[in-house]
């Protein structure tokens, strides 16, 4: 029995590690440090999950079975966001972009879907003001948000200065940094 959890559909969905779901307006994956936020666009819905480098084979299979069950075979574009080198160095399963692509191909029927990756290492090494102590600190994590905008999807992030404290300002990702895999 795996601990992967399928959440009910929601307009504004927040996915912790090991959760899968559909957001009809936006999806947020909070506390990205070594994880990948994976967002698929299917019409105006966002199919998503939050995958850790500690994910084992059974959890990965369960994650993709859940993605498939909520429409993953009908996704036209998949977006993977997270710190590539860090994730690959700690991952049990995904040690390269090729391994990610192979997982999508073997577990979903949508062979024609496009796959894009955005490395968030730069954002995770940014110094930000921690107002609690009035000092600059390196972000401890980022929250990643995808928002459906009818004709496209917007991707944003905000900094965390501790596991429970995030800064309120959202920043748009530079979408030119997405690389096709």
Q: What is the pTM of this model?
A: 0.95
d(C-alpha 92, C-alpha 20), whole Å: 19
- pLDDT of 111: 77
Q: Give the model confidence (pLDDT) of 36-46 as tens digits.
A: 999 999 988 99
Percent of the chain exceeding pLDDT 90 equals 90
Q: Give the model confidence (pLDDT) of 123-166 as tens digits.
A: 999 999 999 999 999 999 999 999 998 788 999 999 999 988 99
Is residue 32 within 8 A of residue 155, CB to CB? The reply is no
Domains in the chain: boundaries: 5-119
d(C-alpha 101, C-alpha 165), whole Å: 34
Q: Is the pLDDT of residue 10 over 60?
A: yes
Lowest mean pLDDT across 105-114, 116-125, 153-162 = 105-114
Tokens linked to 136: 């600059």
Determine the Cα angle at 15 with ends 71 and 108, to 5°: 30
Residue 113 φ/ψ region, left for φ over 0, alpha for ψ in the -120 to 50 degree band, beta for the rest:
beta
């Amino acid at each position: 029995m795996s601990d992967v959890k399928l959440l009910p559909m929601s307009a504004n969905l927040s996915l912790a590690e090991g959760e899968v779901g559909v957001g009809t307006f936006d999806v947020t994956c909070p506390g990205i440090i070594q994880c990948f936020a994976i967002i698929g666009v299917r019409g105006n819905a966002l199919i998503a999950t939050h995958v850790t480098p500690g994910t084992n084979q059974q959890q990965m299979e369960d994650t993709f079975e859940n993605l498939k069950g909520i429409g993953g075979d009908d996704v036209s574009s998949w977006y993977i966001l997270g710190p590539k080198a860090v994730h690959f160095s700690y991952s049990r399963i995904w040690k390269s972009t090729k391994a990610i692509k192979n997982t999508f191909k073997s577990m979903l029927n949508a062979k024609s879907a496009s796959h894009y990756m955005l490395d968030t290492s730069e954002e995770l090494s940014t110094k930000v003001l921690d107002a609690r102590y009035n000092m600059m600190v390196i972000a401890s994590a980022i929250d990643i948000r995808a928002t459906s905008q009818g004709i496209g999807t917007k991707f944003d992030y905000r900094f965390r200065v501790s596991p429970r404290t995030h800064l309120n300002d959202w920043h748009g990702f530079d979408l030119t940094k997405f690389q096709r895999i």
